[in-house]
Amino acid sequence: FLLVSAPKSSHEVLKESATDVRVLPNYSTPQKTDSYFNPKMKLNRQLIFCALAVLAKERTPIECLDAFGATGIMGLQWAKHLSSSVRVTINDCSENSVAMIQENCHLNKMRVKLNTKEEDSDEGLGDGEESADIIEVTKMDANVIMHLRSFDFIHLDPFGTSVNYLDSAFRNVRNLGIVSLTSTDTSSLYAKAQHVALRHYGCNIVRTEYYKELAARIVIAAVTRAAARCNKGIEVLLAVALEHFVLVVVRVLRGPSPADDSAKKIRYLIHCQWCEERIFQKEGNMVEENPYQQLPCDCHGSMPGKTAVILGPLWSGALFNAGFLRRMYLEAVQYSLDEAQSLLKTLVCEAECTTLKHYSTHSPCDESKQEECGVYIKTPNTPSEPHLVHGKRKSDEVIRNTAKRQKAENSAEHPAFYYNIHRHSIKGMNMPKLNKFLNYLSEAGYKVSRTHFDPMGVRTNAPLAQFKTVLMKYSTPTYTGGQAEEAEYLEEERPAVAAAMFLKDCPPPHCAAE
């Protein structure tokens, strides 16, 4: 069989974020095309772009890698909007995809530097044409290029799980760089194929009401173990789980101490199958006589048999960095990324465990909070103004400051997991509106926020028993159609019924005479 390329007339040109890409007619079917393009992943691409834009303001220039280029849309957006701040490398192992990436680079008036195992050549534009920054296009296996070269920003978006590429990604990534990965194997992560999750991630899971957050913590645990094998720790900046994908963005902290600190945050989870209460196991290796005592609920005492299961191992630390998310939001506003703006607002509120009405773009921050994603130093040109850059201080001092900040933030971490208000509603009761219920929980003294994982989910530090108590207190009785008609009938016939009951209780006349 001969591989014949399709004529250019059959190629369709799509536009996203001021970037044009030429795709094949079957571009939406990954099994039948090399250059797969999914329009539903637009939000995913916007979030990754915002994360890269934040990193580009910390150090310049940065070398970034799109390890699975396909059509090259993501790398083209990086180069087109961030221009001289980034040096973009787009990689793919398919020859057809590499040809498509080169074609799309020329379509967007970008110069191409082709680098493959066999050849290394430059393809430039004509003398009279306008040129932009050079994009390097490589044809290698993703593991090979990440072993050969160092990068500041790496994005992994394979078809399915990304665990096969984590070791290579963390091998040469630079200190304080960022690794982002998109996992589309939602059938295993969302507990529809539990045996596949055990095979890929070494994790035991069941289907729960908080299955999306469970999926994010599974991926982060795999990332943490891969980084620790390379003597690197991580700081989770962002974790998003939506219908089609799970996106995780982490910052790399080089050194054995950050690696040990990150590895200690991988724990098992005790999950009650009756009430769906959950809690992470305590630290330590000692076996407890009764592990059910760790659960806040008393289902084990009131229900027969074994009532809880152990899930994991999972990441037990924070899923968001509020300072980094605020800076991502500012980048989304600057580049008019509307879909990312609404989601980032929700993520900031979720990270700070507050409601949307208390959200503020320019929140007052002290210098220590502003250093959440960078290091402030004073440059000779502007001695009075700090400038965010990296690499001017010693790396151990940077890591030490990051560790101090993380220890200070541990007490203020957002609560783990969330409760679905419909899952715990009381039968026969009309529950309050979600926003009102958030206010009721906040008035009771608990941290509370909505969550992007579930539109009807409530993230709070209140135990499930208190959650149900507040929900019961502010719920009102409801009636079905038949019950309402019966109540209305009794209300109308109350006088006649009362008279009948009175006559029934009165003795007959002959009895009274006797």
Query: Where exactly are the structural domains of the chain?
Result: 12-116+132-284+293-323, 324-352, 418-477
Is the N-terminal amide bond of 61 cis, ω within 30° of 0? yes
Instruction: Calculate helix-pair angle for 211-229, 194-201, nearest 10 degrees.
Output: 20
Residues 6+ apart with CB under 8 A from 29: 36
d(CA 424, CA 406): 34
Q: Is the dihedral of CA 218, 219, 220, 223 positive or negative?
A: positive
For the ranges 335-344, 389-398, 420-429, the maximum mean pLDDT occurs at 335-344
Contact (Cβ atoms closer than 8 angstroms) between residue 53 and residue 324? no
pLDDT of residue 114: 86
User: How high is the pLDDT of residue 511?
Assistant: 47
Sign of the CA dihedral with 163 first, then 167, 169, and 173 last: positive
Query: 304 falls in which pLDDT band (50, 70, 90)?
Result: confident
From 63, 77, 72, select the one nearest 91 (Cα to Cα).
72
Residue 38 clears pLDDT 60, i.e. is over it: yes
**pLDDT band for position 281 (50/70/90)?**
very high
Task: Provide the token pair at 391.
Answer: 């690499």
Pairing, β 134-139 against β 111-116: parallel
- 120 close to 106: Cβ distance less than 8 angstroms: no
CB neighbourhood size of 123 (10 A): 13
Q: What residue has token string 């087109």?
A: 80
Residue 506 has what pLDDT? 54
d(CA 260, CA 283): 14
User: Within 10 A of 103 (CB to CB), how many other CB atoms are there?
Assistant: 17
pLDDT digits (tens, 9 = 90+) for 308-341: 999 999 999 999 999 999 999 999 999 999 999 9
Backbone angles phi, psi at 180, to 5 degrees: -120, 145
Q: What integer pLDDT is reported at residue 287 of this predicted model?
A: 83
CA distance 61 to 84: 7
60-64, 113-117, 303-307, 479-483: range with lowest mean pLDDT: 479-483
Tell which wins on pLDDT, 27 or 47. 47
Q: What is the mean pLDDT of residues 357-382?
A: 43
pLDDT for 228-271, tens place per residue? 999 999 999 999 999 889 999 999 999 999 999 999 999 999 99
What counts of helices (H) and strands (E) characterise the chain? 19, 21
Helix residue ranges, H only, 83-181: 95-107, 142-148, 166-172
- CA 313 – CA 142 distance, rounded (Å): 27
pLDDT of residue 285: 80
Average pLDDT, stretch 289-297? 89
Structure tokens at 262: 């990150």
The whole-number pLDDT of residue 495 equals 57
Q: Going by DSSP bridges, is the β-strand pair 419-420/386-389 parallel, antiparallel, or unpaired?
A: unpaired
Q: 450 in helix, strand or coil?
A: strand
Mean pLDDT of 182-197: 96
What pLDDT sits at residue 123?
52
Q: What is residue 204's DSSP assignment?
A: B
Residues, the chain, total?
514
Span of 22-31, 150-159, 460-469 with lowest mean pLDDT:
22-31
- Domain 12-116+132-284+293-323 belongs in CATH node 3.40.50.150: yes
CA–CA distances in Å: residue 365 to residues 126, 368, 405? 50, 8, 14
Question: For the chain, what percentages of helix, strand and coil (3-state, to nearest 5) are there?
Answer: 40, 20, 35
Q: Give the pTM.
A: 0.82
- CA nearest neighbour of 86 among 54, 108, 115, 112: 54
- Please give the angle made by the CA atoms of 246, 83 and 223, to the nearest 5 degrees: 25
Query: Higher-confidence residue: 27 or 61?
Result: 61
Distance CA 212, CA 183 (A): 12
Crossing angle for the helix pair 481-492 and 494-505, nearest 10 degrees? 70
pLDDT of residue 234: 97
344 has a pLDDT exceeding 70: yes
Structure tokens at 315: 């990441």
Start-end of H helices in 27-72: 42-56
Cα(263)–Cα(255) distance, integer angstroms: 12
SS3 429: strand
Residue 34 above 80 pLDDT? no
Mean pLDDT of 196-217: 96
Query: Interior CA angle at 212 toward 207 and 216, to 5°?
Result: 115
Give the list of residues 6+ apart from residue 490 with CB closer than 8 angstroms, or none. Answer: 497
Largest CA distance in the chain: 127
Q: What per-residue string of b and e applies to 442-463 under the rule 16 or more CB within 10 Å gives b?
A: beeebbbbbbbbbeebbbbebe
For range 148-177, the mean pLDDT: 95
| Helix (H) or strand (E) run with residue 14 in it | strand 12-16
Instruction: Give me the pLDDT at residue 383, please.
Output: 33
- Distance between first and last Cα of the chain: 115
Q: Are 363 and 376 in contact (CB under 8 A)?
A: no
Give yes or no for residue 61 having a pLDDT over 70. yes
Cβ–Cβ under 8 Å, residues 297 and 465 = yes
Averaged pLDDT of the chain: 82
Q: Which fold has domain 418-477?
A: Phenylalanyl-tRNA Synthetase; Chain B, domain 1 (3.30.56)
- Percent of the chain at pLDDT above 90? 61
Residue 45's pLDDT band, with cuts at 50, 70 and 90, is: very high
